[in-house]
Structure 1
Amino acid sequence: MGIQHTVVFRLRHGQGSGEETAFLATAHDTLTAIPGVEDFTISRQVSPKSDLDWQFSMVFADQAAYDAYNNHPSHVGFVESRWVPEVASFQEYDFVGLE
């Protein structure tokens, strides 16, 4: 059964800023190049009920693919060099469908 990995977050950068655009573009290019990442999407939050602005969503075929992604040098490097210094707040969710 597949795993849908999602993370909802707010950046330290202003909305519509060049820094925000660069972060999202780098995330897309870096994360989609990692083997096992399927159906990657970036979505913008439109509800005033949340203070988090963005969502990354991706699907993995199984736990082994998800674990390989988490440990992949490109993912680790992105988290260390971009995510930690540029993300102000986030929530992470991982889902599997009901059988």
Structure 2
Amino acid sequence: MSLTKIKHMVTFSLHAGKDTPEAEAFLKTSAAELAPIPGVEHFEVFHQVSSKNEFDYGFSMVFADQAAYEAYNQHPVHQKYVAERWLKEVSRFQEIDFKLHEALHS
């Protein structure tokens, strides 16, 4: 992974609960809507298995650089998804955005 790439991750839980038909529908719809947005690379959906984490699911994706990440955040599909799905169906979340640590990966 290039030093300019950004790994965007979000862990979350849903109002619908874990392992429910509604949760599965949310995960499938989210992947179908978000993964095709220009600039999104390596979109993945995760199911939490650790008892040390309070969140049930996770999304991960990679962006080539800060500009691609910002374009994703401003993209109309992402904006609509956040307003119509995320804010209504997600009960809590944590967002993490990382770049490779230059001193260790140069």
| Shared fold (TM-score, shorter chain, > 0.5) | yes
From the CA coordinates, give the structure whose radius of gyration is larger. Answer: 2
Instruction: Tell me the residue number matched to 2:85.
Output: 82
Match of 1:97 among 97, 100, 104: 100
Match of 1:24 among 27, 31, 52: 27
Count of residue pairs the alignment pairs up: 99
CA distance in 2, matches of 1:98, 1:42: 24
**Aligned-pair distance for 1:51?**
1.4
**Aligned-pair distance for 1:6?**
0.4
1:6 is aligned to 2:2:
no
- Give per-residue Cα distances to partners, 1:61-91, cap 9 Å, x unaligned: 0011000000000001110011001000000
**Aligned-pair distance for 1:16?**
2.1
Q: Look up the equivalent residue of 1:58 and give its one-letter code.
A: M
Q: What is the TM-score normalised by the length of structure 1?
A: 0.96
**Aligned-pair distance for 1:18?**
1.6
Q: What is the TM-score normalised by the length of structure 2?
A: 0.90
Match of 2:43 among 34, 40, 44: 40
Q: Look up the equivalent residue of 1:51 and give its one-letter code.
A: E
Indicate the percent of aligned positions where both proteins have the same amino acid: 52
Question: Runs (4+) of structure 1 moved beyond 6 Å?
Answer: none
| Ranges in structure 2 where 5+ consecutive residues have no aligned partner | none
